[in-house]
Structure 1
């Protein structure tokens, strides 16, 4: 059976019309985008006044198209299916811009992984949301960051702390830390925000100014392949981090997710070890297109516990409160592959949708992390050999 995203469903007139709109929009902007030798500001201003879009939007679209030209495999997918709207194309450019001037071989690796991620593997598959696309890209660039040795050879940077004025009496603070430090700070601020019912910005200000105290132990949950030393890590609530960052975070407790995958419990309440596996497999709420983090979701028994359903990874899925209520009320039901965690949602009106898990333990991400780890280990070995010779 042919694999395709729901947005490209050949048997759905609505999806077909929407695909044609995306196609014509894409082809229009590809045709009118400024040439590299054109004055960028004037060109975007002209496009904005003639299309009714903002100048910022025309800039973003132009940059997204030139970025896509650097990703030939991803571009080929787009120009075959026309499934990516400009919101997603702009997200791809915005995240990859974090890498700055990217070497060709780096872009080739990212293009290959991105194209693989965006290739549908089942019929009626749900197109990755902007949030999940951003998470995937952040994972790809995390493993492309310089190693500590490479950073030492780079030109020293100025103090990455500065303030700036904004509008309406507001001002901003920009500061950079190494990943491990930032992750710990972010978790500390998040806990303070939740405890005192504050925004994270207000919680940070009050912590620094001494208006509140936060005497808690920060606990980070990291998923990482144990059989590959150079594998990247995935930190719950943050995302993928480079192998160097993962190496710097020393776990005080290790839990075997291979064991957790096979565990079953007689209790209705999900034990922590089984829950950690489900969260690591799912990544987000399993309702198609929802991106609420799995750790903030309920563990739903696909077959009710009262009807003999197991409290085990093969019978549990992460559902946020809202979508759990829809399932409980009978508006939709799902069938789950106990081995891969793939889910088929069945709806009252007769249609169905296919959803893949997004977490670090999902088959796609688990295999990718191992492959990346092997590549990094080989790169390190080659660098050591050059230094020793």
Structure 2
């Protein structure tokens, strides 16, 4: 009699869909596996530059460009991007373990971090390092990797949070900052050749708040006169037309405990992003000149209209929540999108912010043609797109309402707590600089003030944008050179005398 033994394995295989991963890491997707191989190759090529000392950078770029048949600007950008990881040890470790980030993404990170400056301390870099690693930690299965635009916006947001100053003498500080701000403005004329034709160019440089006002005025005037932006600018500058009298600039800002924006905090300008210290000051000057109209978006979120057409406040809410077209991978700005009734209006869908979402014309047509449908989670900000082929894609809201800045979002508070020490350091540095400049107005010792500012810069590892005005120097009177021969020999003079003596 034979006995058969059946052995049951206790090993289980969890479906890939249950693991938290980005879509580009999906091991069951052949295209995702190929993209991972591409990133692995990039890592093998560029990761040595994280620490490699280069004696001749230009020559290295020339050789690598020739070897790989890639443009030199692409090679140099990739080298700089990987070299940036030396300041971001957590992100570097993550990249070494996962090869998650492509050169394209790393170059975007490097370009945005250039604004931090070479003198930033370790704590500042640690704040960016922790933020980026958290951003690249998947929270669900098949999650889309944050786009380069989203990554850059997060970096700029953190830069704005860290760039804070405190007044010591408000009147004197405002005067200094006004002078400094005006030095940041410039108009440049140049000429160039395109396709054999000589052309001229005009470039205006100013702070982002002023540029947003200029852009809004230019667009409003162009609509009024039915002109292109270029023709409108030319006609305005040459005096052929007058600008539109009234222009609205829409911005978003987190409300404080009393429901009002706290002075000095950054604001979000659509199409530009979060304001830095200079932009914020210009915005507050603008508000002083023209008091703004404030709409509480928490209240707008509850509104409903019987009309198919959303109110302006509903549009602004949707723009602030979504940021751009909500189809995965689409970065069309929300202001350039159409508002879609997720549940169609003719099927009982209400015209209310929770049923209105930003879709570009192309992806709006896809949804209207029933090739795709989406479901939004208002708590997490996730949007699940169900495709007609049985698969699904994920996207999320990327506007300032879901971008770690609102008081109702816990991440805002934790971000502030993590960055509190850096904020205090910068604030103290700026306050002490302005105090030294105030004291200089009293004692007048120019070189003493310069030395004291340098001591502060070394102590805080920061650079001051302000310096004392040098004292006026009295002009020195230099006497004329004396006559080298005050008593000349009379005999040579007699030879040239036109009136010789008579006998």
The answer to whether the superposition gives a TM-score over 0.5 is yes
- After superposition, give the CA deviation of every residue in 1:83-111 in whole Å (9 maximum; x if it has no partner): 32212211222222234424023332223
Secondary structure of 2:84's match?
A: helix
Over 3 Å counting, the alpha-carbon distance change for 1:174 and 1:339 in structure 2 is same
Answer whether contact 1:34 1:40 (CA < 8 A) is retained: no
Q: Which moved more, 1:304-313 or 1:170-179?
A: 170-179
Q: How does 1:135-284 map to 2 (within 5 A)?
A: 135-145=153-163, 147=165, 152=176, 160-168=186-194, 169-193=198-222, 200-201=229-230, 203-227=232-256, 229=262, 230-242=264-276, 244-245=280-281, 246-250=283-287, 251-284=291-324
**Aligned: 1:81 with 2:98:** yes
Distance of aligned partners of 1:200 and 1:26 in 2 relative to their CA distance in 1, 3 Å threshold: farther
- Count of aligned residue pairs for this structure pair: 388
Q: Normalization by structure 1: what TM-score?
A: 0.86
- How far off its partner does 1:363 sit? 5.6
1:42 corresponding residue in structure 2: 59
Contact 1:225 1:370 in 2 (8 A): no
2:378 is aligned, of 322, 338, 361, to 338
In structure 2, the CA distance between the partners of 1:4 and 1:102, relative to structure 1 (3 Å rule), is farther
- Change in CA separation of 1:45 and 1:175 when aligned onto 2, cut-off 3 Å: same
Is contact 1:344–1:355 with CA below 8 Å preserved after alignment? yes
- Structure 2 residue matching 1:226: 3-state secondary structure: coil
Q: Is residue 123 from structure 1 mapped to residue 141 from structure 2 by the alignment? A: yes
Structure (1 or 2) with the larger CA radius of gyration = 2
Q: For the Cα contact (< 8 Å) 1:6–1:127, is it kept in 2?
A: yes
Partner Cα separation in structure 2 for residue 130 and residue 196 of structure 1:
36
Correspondence 1:293-372 to 2 at 5 A = 293-362=333-402, 364-366=404-406, 367=409
1:93 aligns with 2:110: yes
Deviation at 1:281, TM superposition (A): 0.6
Q: CA deviation at 1:201?
A: 4.9
Name the CA distance, whole Å, in 2 between partners of 1:136 and 1:110: 10
Q: Structure 2 vs 1, CA of residues 269 and 158 (structure 1 numbering), >3 Å: closer, same or farther? A: closer
Deviation at 1:385, TM superposition (A): 8.5
SS in 2 for 1:10: coil
Q: Determine the C-alpha separation between the residues in 1 that align with 2:155 and 2:230.
A: 25
Check conservation: 1:231, 1:373, Cα contact below 8 A: no
Counterpart in the other structure of 2:87: 70
Q: How far does residue 27 in structure 1 lie from its aligned partner after superposition? A: 2.0
Comparing 161-170 with 118-127, which one deviates more in the overlay? 161-170
Q: 2-side partners of 1:158 and 1:231: how far apart?
A: 21
Q: Alpha-carbon deviation of 1:377?
A: 7.5
Counterpart of 1:10 in structure 2 is 27
Check 1:180–1:32 CA distance in 2 against 1; reply closer, same or farther (3 A cut).
closer
Give distance in 1, aligned partners of 2:243 and 2:79. 45
* Distance in 1, Cα, partners of 2:426 & 2:48: 44
Change in CA separation of 1:159 and 1:325 when aligned onto 2, cut-off 3 Å: closer
RMSD (Å) for aligned C-alpha atoms: 3.3
Contact kept, 8 Å, 1:334 with 1:345, in 2: the verdict is yes
- How far apart are residue 239 of structure 1 and its match? 1.5
Q: TM-score, normalised by structure 2?
A: 0.68
CA distance in 2, matches of 1:34, 1:44: 16
Could you tell me which runs of 5 or more consecutive residues in structure 2 were left unpaired when the two chains were aligned: 1-17, 168-172, 436-503
- Residues 222-271 of structure 1: per-residue CA shift (max 9 Å, x gap): 11112162432111232211363453442521001111122233332212
Contact 2:382–2:396 (Cα < 8 Å) also in 1: yes
| CA contact 2:50–2:84 (8 Å) conserved in 1 | no
Contact 1:285 1:318 in 2 (8 A): yes
Return 5+ residue gaps in structure 1 as ranges: none
Moved more, 99-108 or 63-72: 99-108
